[in-house]
Structure formats: structure tokens, C-alpha cells
Amino acid sequence: MPLDLVEFGKKLRRYREQLQLSVAEVLSGTGIADHRLEAFERGEITPTGDEVLILADFFRCDYRFFVSNEKLAAFEQTDTLYRRYGDEFSRADRRRVQELLFLCECEHFLLLELHRPVEAFRFTPSGNYFKGHAEQAASSLRQHFHYAATAVPSDVYSDFRRIGFHVFRRRLDNSNISGLTIRHPSVGACLLVNYSEDVYRQRFTAAHEAAHGILDSGEDVVVSFTTRDRNSLIEVRANTFASRYLLPRELVTNIPVTKWSRYEVTRWANKLKVSTTALAIALKEAGIVNDATAKYLAEVRVPAEAKTDPELENLTGRSAERKVELLQRGLTSFYVNLCFEAHSSGVITAQRAAEMMLVDDFELTEIADLFNVRLLVE
């Protein structure tokens, strides 16, 4: 089937506009002459196969997206994202969102190639009470994972990956965005957690975005802000889900504290790996403390040095620092290990592993050393 030049040109131009790039900047990033890029966008000339591959790599998408009519990329979803919230995303953050989707597509491919099963989880809400939906969904998911009523989920990122969600953390310039959920047409729910947030807040945001993935199947895009939309029903529902998943009522009511103080709320927030604000709200909703006490308790903070991150536990020194740098760029230990497993199994080359990790050959070798992996000679 011949390439539809007009459609190819439209896709190319819309991608460029989504990322707020000039033709000169695309030229700089691809080496393709500006007169050819302009002719592509006008649908006047046919790109070579190499040019299609170069452009796909530059825009971080499947090359087949440019040459077919199949919905292989979250193109319409990112269009919706920037129509609704364009002013909230800097050019750098738009590139980070595009890279998030690329990582999700690669992760989906690797999971299929390595025959990693995804646990089926479906939840159908009943009634029209949004907070009720959230409570039911949180309870249902905890039961799915066989959590005891008072158990604390230790690694929520792993939990949500088990049910097929692609969860990545990435530092965004806009600290008012806590996270976002994009429903990719071919790989499913893609969740981004803003790494600029506090470690425990990131856990809550991951659960909040998972709620959107579970309960808001009709929404292609949901952006969660730290200081707005607090009265939105879907945001209230997502917050309720996150609270009930991390702090179920039975757990909260069984905490052995008779008189809540700032010392106790700090100690227990750290044990439960939540913010003091989340714990104070859970205590208030359980009828254990009143509004004034909850507000008083929420004002204290767990010291940063006391907090633990499931992907950084048992790491010290430069190894911990390096993994933090990778997490800020979206490279979770889960994803990096998937890439190296696929490489060692012969599924992908070292060069392809580097592309999937958004790094060059030199940094790939450095990351392999960090993860104690030996790259195959090719």
C-alpha cells in the first residue's frame, strides 16, 4: 500500500506543533534538510525509508505510525492533552511526556516478548456515589492481591504494573502537576508520577493515577494537579481510592495509639509510608480525631532522611545517587531490568536496548555495570 503523503505530512506537522518545535529544530535533531521537511509536511515528496526511521526516532514513536492508518501511537490523546492543558506543559515537559509514551510502548513490547503475564483485574462500579466507587475498587484490588485487612502495600508501583498499567516516574518542570494518566490506544494505561514530589506523596500519586486507570476508562487523558480541581468528582474519587488502598479503614482503626500527637503521627506516617496529611485525613474520616486535631497533625512532616523508596532500598553512596538520576528520567529498575533481560535472551541488541533506555552506548555500559549486567558481544 503506497504511503499517503498528505496524511504523513499532517502527522509530521502535528507532532512538531505538539512539541512546539520549529522546522529548524527538527533539522538540527535529524539532519534532514529543512526544504525536505517542509515538503514532507505539504505532502509533496516521498520520504526515504531511512528518513521515516530517523523521524520516528526523533519524535519517539513507532515508525509504523507514520506509514499506516493504524492507531499505534497516543497521537490523538496528546492532542487532547495539549488542547486542554497546553499552558501547563513547557516544551521540556512535552518532550518528557512523549518519552513516557515511548517507554510505555517499549515496556509493552518487552513484556510480550518475554512472556510476562499480566493479571486480569476488572472492576465495575455500582450505584452513582463516586466515593463509594473508590472504596469498592480499593477493597477489590486489595483482595485481588490477597492483602490482609491491615497490611500495608510495600511497593505500589509493582502492584499496578501487575495489572497491566505502565507506571513511570519522571521529574517535570511544572511542580503543580502531581501526575497524569494517558490511555494509549495499543498499550493501555500509561501513568506518570512527578518525581519532583515527596517520596511518600509519589506513592499516593501512583495510587491516585491508578484509580483513573481503573475507574475512568472513558477518559483518554487525566491530569492531576496539586492545587486545583480538588472538588472535581473524579479527583475526589481518585483521592479516596488512593487513601483506602494505602490506608484501609480497618488498618487505621487498629493503630495502637490512644492519644494522637505530632510525634505519633510522624512515627506512624513513616511506618505506613504515607504523608502526615494523608494519615491525618484518614484518622478524621475514621472518626478518631476531629477536624482541628487533623489539621494540627497534618502540619508536621516526616524527615526526608527517614523515608524509604522501594526502588532505592539497600543502596548507598554513588549507586543510590545514580539510580535516583535514572528514576528522574523515567528509567525504573523494573524497566531497565526488562531491557537487560531481553538483551541477554537475544530479543534485542545492545544498540536497541540503548535506544529503549534513551541513552547512548557509553551510558548503556555504565548502567549495565550499575545493574551488574554483562552486555553481549555483537
**Three-state secondary structure of 251-264:** HHHCCCCCCCCHHH
Using one digit for the tens of pLDDT, what is the confidence trace for 246-295?
999 999 999 999 999 999 999 999 999 999 999 999 999 999 999 999 99
Top mean pLDDT of 22-31, 129-138, 310-319 is at 22-31
Grid coordinates of 154:
510495600
Q: Is 169 helix (H, G, I), strand (E, B) or coil?
A: strand
Instruction: Look at the block and give the residue holding cell 529503549.
Output: 356
Using one digit for the tens of pLDDT, what is the confidence trace for 304-330?
878 888 877 766 677 888 888 999 999
> What is the C-alpha separation between 33 and 29, in angstroms, rounded?
11
Instruction: Please return the burial class of 377, using the count of CB atoms within 10 Å of its CB with bins 0-12, 13-18 and 19+.
Output: exposed
CA angle, corner 15, sides to 190 and 46, nearest 5? 125
| Crossing angle between the packed helical segments 91-113 and 333-344, to the nearest 10 degrees | 50
What confidence tier does 81 reach under pLDDT thresholds 50, 70, 90?
very high
> What is the C-alpha separation between 231 and 237, in angstroms, rounded?
10
